[in-house]
C-alpha cells in the first residue's frame, strides 16, 4: 500500500491494468441469478527498527442482480502510521462506503439511485456524504465486456476537520454526475473493473472526480491476488491541501 505516489507511478499501474483488459477477454456479464457475487481484498505491512511503520488496506464489493434490477455495494479502507521516538503519526486514514441501485427500464437503459459516505482525515475531510439519482445506458453488453454510461443529479455535504479562515468549515450543494464503468473477464481466473465519475458542482463546492480500477486473479479455490489504483481530485480543497490524492494497493483476497 502506498499513498500520495508520484503521478508517473500511477500512470504505469493504470496503463498496465488497462492493457490487461484488452487481452483475451472472456465472459464479463453480471450474473443475473439474484445471488450475491463479489470479492474482498486485504493488504498491509509492518516494519520495526528505529522507527515503526505499519499499513493496512481493505477493499470489498458485492453485486446482487436479476433481470429487473441490480444492487451494488462497495467499501474501501486505508490506514497507515509511523512511530518515531514513541511519537505516532498517522500517514493514511481513509474509509469509504457506498452503494447503487439500478432498475432496468429496458434491455439497454436503467434508472439508478446511489449514496456514499467517506472520511479522509489526511486530506482534512472529517466526513462527506452524497446522494444522487439519474439514468444510464448499457453501451456494450456482450460476452466479451460490459460498458455503461450514466448521468444524474445529486447533493453532497463535506465537513472539514481543521480549517483556517477564510476557508469554510464545510461545503454543501447540488452537483451533477457524469460517469462510466466497465467490467471485463480476462480469463476463467482473472477479472478487471474500472469506474470513472465526475461531479461538477456549484461554485461553492467546486468539481470533484474519482477513478478506480482493480485487477483480481484467482489463485486457488476462490482465493485471489489483487492490484488496484484509486485516484481522487477536487478543484477546491480545504486549506490549500493537494487537489489530487492517490492510493495503490496489492494484496490477497477472496472472490465469491
SS (H, E, C) 125-143: EEEEEEEEEEEEEEEEECC
Count of other CB atoms within 10 angstroms of residue 35: 11
- Give me the pLDDT at residue 247, please: 84
Strands (E) in 105-238, as ranges, are: 109-120, 125-141, 145-160, 170-185, 190-200, 207-220, 223-234
Collapsing DSSP states into helix, strand and coil, what is residue 192? strand
Q: What angle do CA 212, 216, 107 make, to 5 degrees?
A: 65
Whole-angstrom distance, CA of residue 163 vs CA of residue 118: 18
Which among 94, 78, 79, 83 is positioned nearest to 53, based on CA atoms?
83
| pTM for the model | 0.81
- Give me the pLDDT at residue 29, please: 61
Task: Name residues of the chain where pLDDT drops below 50.
Answer: 1-27
Q: Strand 244-255 to strand 190-200: parallel, antiparallel, or no bridges (unpaired)?
A: unpaired
- Give me the pLDDT at residue 28, please: 53
Domains, in order of start, for the chain: 2-255 (2.40.160.40)
CA-CA-CA-CA dihedral for 94, 243, 124, 75, to nearest 10? -20
Task: Give residue for cell 467517506.
Answer: 118
Whole-angstrom distance, CA of residue 33 vs CA of residue 29: 12
Amino acid at each position: 500500500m502506498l499513498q500520495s505516489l508520484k503521478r508517473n507511478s500511477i500512470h504505469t499501474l493504470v496503463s498496465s491494468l488497462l492493457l490487461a483488459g484488452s487481452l483475451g477477454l472472456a465472459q464479463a456479464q453480471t450474473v443475473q441469478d439474484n445471488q450475491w457475487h463479489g470479492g474482498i481484498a486485504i493488504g498491509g505491512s509492518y516494519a520495526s527498527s528505529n522507527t515503526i511503520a505499519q499499513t493496512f488496506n481493505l477493499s470489498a464489493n458485492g453485486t446482487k442482480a436479476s433481470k429487473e434490477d441490480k444492487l451494488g455495494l462497495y467499501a474501501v479502507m486505508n490506514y497507515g502510521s509511523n512511530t518515531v521516538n514513541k511519537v505516532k503519526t498517522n500517514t493514511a486514514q481513509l474509509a469509504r462506503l457506498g452503494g447503487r441501485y439500478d432498475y432496468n427500464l429496458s434491455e439497454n437503459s436503467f434508472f439508478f439511485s446511489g449514496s456514499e459516505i467517506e472520511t479522509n482525515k489526511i486530506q482534512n475531510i472529517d466526513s462527506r456524504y452524497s446522494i444522487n439519482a439519474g439514468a444510464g445506458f448499457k453501451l456494450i453488453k456482450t460476452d466479451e465486456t460490459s460498458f455503461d454510461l450514466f448521468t444524474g443529479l445529486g447533493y453532497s455535504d463535506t465537513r472539514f476537520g481543521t480549517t483556517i479562515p477564510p476557508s469554510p468549515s464545510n461545503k454543501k450543494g447540488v452537483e451533477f454526475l457524469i460517469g462510466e464503468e466497465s467490467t471485463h473477464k480476462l480469463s476463467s481466473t482473472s477479472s478487471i473493473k474500472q469506474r470513472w465519475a465526475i461531479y461538477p458542482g456549484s461554485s461553492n463546492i467546486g468539481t470533484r472526480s474519482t477513478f478506480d480500477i482493480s485487477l483480481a486473479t484467482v489463485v486457488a479455490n476462490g482465493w485471489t491476488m489483487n492490484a488496484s489504483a484509486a485516484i481522487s481530485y477536487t478543484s477546491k480543497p480545504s486549506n490549500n491541501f493537494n487537489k489530487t490524492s492517490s492510493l495503490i494497493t496489492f494484496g490477497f483476497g477472496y472472490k465469491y
